[in-house]
Structure 1
Amino acid sequence: MHPVHSPVVASPWYSIVAALVAVMLWSVAPLLAELAHTSSPLQLTALTLLAGALATLPLSRKVPTATLSRGWQLSVWLGVPLLIFGAVSSYFIGMRLAPAAEAALITYTWPVLFVLLSQWSRFGKLRMAGVIGALIAFSGAALLLLPQALSGGLGGATNGYALALLAACCWALYSWLGQTAPIALTPLLPRLLLIACAIAGCASLLVEGNFGVPDNEALLAGIALGLGPYGIAMVAWDKALRFGQASVVGSLAYGVPILAAILLVLAGMSVLDWRLPTAAALVIVGCLKAGYGGGHNHP
């Protein structure tokens, strides 16, 4: 889920179709994570990342990482896998502790966080459009939490929302590294996912205590998560941004939280009230404001 700068080519429909494939697959992620609820979250993370590594294997090719400075080598081979592990595991755990649709929506504030981070690293300051966009996006997230807070606290969901926000921060940092790294990360993605999978496996053994085979539904859902949202979707998104106009393609990603919420409601795993679509609209408007007004037209 990181940006790739590219020129526009003659056939924009190719990039739009590729972007829509990625968006649809990302939208299914919360539903698949709910179907895999019988698997422990760290075990599910390891399974998902392993399937993602296998799905992205055709992308793998040799990249001259030996020419990188020691700092960049550490960032690529340790920092990126840790961020992937942090993003995926926090997302899965957060969805166990808080309502899935709300947790997914909070996680998908990551594009506006990425815009702010990019502005700060590039210009040494935040642009007003980015700040306003962030305020709008986070007002949407706050709208989801306000009623519970006013009625006596968020209870156990507080940790879930915090972990969803942590997942958003991890994706934003991962995207920023993908943008600023002196080499393309996409050809390294299978190896980076495998390292992240190893980290998740060790964490599962240490924290959860066992690493048995999940039941059939959880196993299939975990494999589908890796093949789709964390495999094919990442490849499709890379192609969309390489062969299309980033401002057009990137704006499609802001539909993910709405589609994800609709799928959860249709599956009977979430209840629709006025707050969820209103919050989703605020998040999308905030991301668009930050992106188009702040000089970065894609997540």
Structure 2
Amino acid sequence: MQANLYALGAIALWASLASLGVSLTHVPPFLLTGIALIIGSVPAWPFVLRDPSQWRIPVRTLALGVYGLFAYHFLLFIALRHAPPVEANLVNYLWPLFIVVLAPVVLPGVALRLPHVLAALLGFGGAAIAIVGGRELSGTLAWGYLPALAAAFIWATYSLLTKRVAAFPTTAIGLFGLVSGALSLLCHAVLEPAVALQPRDWALLAVLGLGPLGASFFLWDKALKLGDARHIGILSYITPLASTALLLVVSGRPFSWSIALATVMIIGAAVMGMRAR
């Protein structure tokens, strides 16, 4: 139960990502990610100043953290630039399904039962309805779908592999974010135009960094350390649903049948997944 609460905390923060992103669409994505990830690492700094050994982790573990935080965002931004964004986001949200089906492959002693698979598929169906929202999907074939698929695979395998490397303190997530943020800023310097940020931009970036690109990763790590990856993966389908619902509230648009149906499907998937012991 405690693991599920940590996971729901991360999901709640990720749900605000789209709404904050709408207010920061004028900020180049790598600049936005780089600044937010570095800000997101700040809560770990006091613990590291008190005990520097918390960031003395094996290079392999640091590489895994950068693989998860930097490579995921890098590929997702490439996908959103080279494929229709709704469809690319839909492909990206295969990651909870990947967590469920890959758990027995990556984690010793974990078995996959039919209810887990059915719950994951039902959850993905609900996520798809929430993301698409009744719109007609583009039939365009775009190479950008490949990096979206790779991003989904990376986040799923990063999440699972954190349980395979040597145990590390959750404060090490701050180091993952700091290094990944620096790499994102390097990508910005090479690939994106320079922009001047206003005080409001910095305030929103601080909220983004301390929440969906900061505290969420610490909560996610705690959830994975304490819980069953299969159940957490199914719960993760709440993210696109909550994100879409929050966008509707912020924009003042009415709720639609698609949100109601997605809610029923995702809650049903979560209940089915929790009962599959």
TM-score (normalised: structure 1): 0.69
Alignment of 1:124-139 (within 5 A): 126-139=112-125
| Deviation sequence 1:150-191 (CA, Å, 0-9, x none) | xx62588x94x7665544333212211222212225231121
Residue in structure 2 matched with residue 206 of structure 1 by the alignment: 190
Deviation at residue 16 of structure 1 after TM alignment: 7.9
1:197 aligned onto 2:142: no
Q: 1:206 to 1:111 in 2, by over 3 A?
A: same
2:257 aligned residue (267, 270, 274): 274
Give the match's secondary structure for 1:170: helix
Q: 1:38 to 1:259 in 2, by over 3 A?
A: same
Q: 1:64 to 1:45 in 2, by over 3 A?
A: closer
| Structure 1: gaps (5+ residues) | 1-7
Give the match's secondary structure for 1:174: helix
| Structure 2: gaps (5+ residues) | none
Residue in structure 2 matched with residue 170 of structure 1 by the alignment: 154
Alignment of 1:81-230 (within 5 A): 81-91=66-76, 107-121=92-106, 122=108, 126-143=112-129, 148-149=136-137, 153-154=139-140, 159=144, 165-184=149-168, 186-208=170-192, 210-230=193-213
1:41 aligned onto 2:54: no
Give the match's secondary structure for 2:139: coil
**Quick one: percent identity of the two aligned structures?**
25
| Deviation sequence 1:246-297 (CA, Å, 0-9, x none) | 79x958655433322121011228774333443454345445545652x5xx
Whole-angstrom distance in 1 between the partners of 2:63 and 2:55: 17
Alignment of 1:3-22 (within 5 A): 21-22=9-10
Q: Is the 1:258–1:277 contact (alpha carbons within 8 Å) kept by the matching residues of 2?
A: no
Give the match's secondary structure for 1:184: coil
Whole-angstrom distance in 1 between the partners of 2:110 and 2:220: 29
Q: Is the 2:40–2:214 contact (alpha carbons within 8 Å) kept by the matching residues of 1?
A: yes
Deviates more, 1:106-115 or 1:190-199: 106-115
Q: 1:292 to 1:41 in 2, by over 3 A?
A: farther
Alignment of 1:21-100 (within 5 A): 21-60=9-48, 61=51, 62-63=53-54, 73-74=59-60, 76-91=61-76
Whole-angstrom distance in 2 between the partners of 1:109 and 1:281: 19
Deviates more, 1:124-133 or 1:45-54: 124-133
Q: 1:232 to 1:138 in 2, by over 3 A?
A: closer
1:259 aligned onto 2:248: no
Whole-angstrom distance in 2 between the partners of 1:111 and 1:193: 21
- Number of aligned residue pairs: give it: 268
Give the match's secondary structure for 1:87: helix
RMSD, aligned CA: 4.0
Give the match's secondary structure for 2:182: helix
Give the match's secondary structure for 1:138: helix
One-letter identity of the residue aligned with 1:57 = W
Deviates more, 1:53-62 or 1:179-188: 53-62
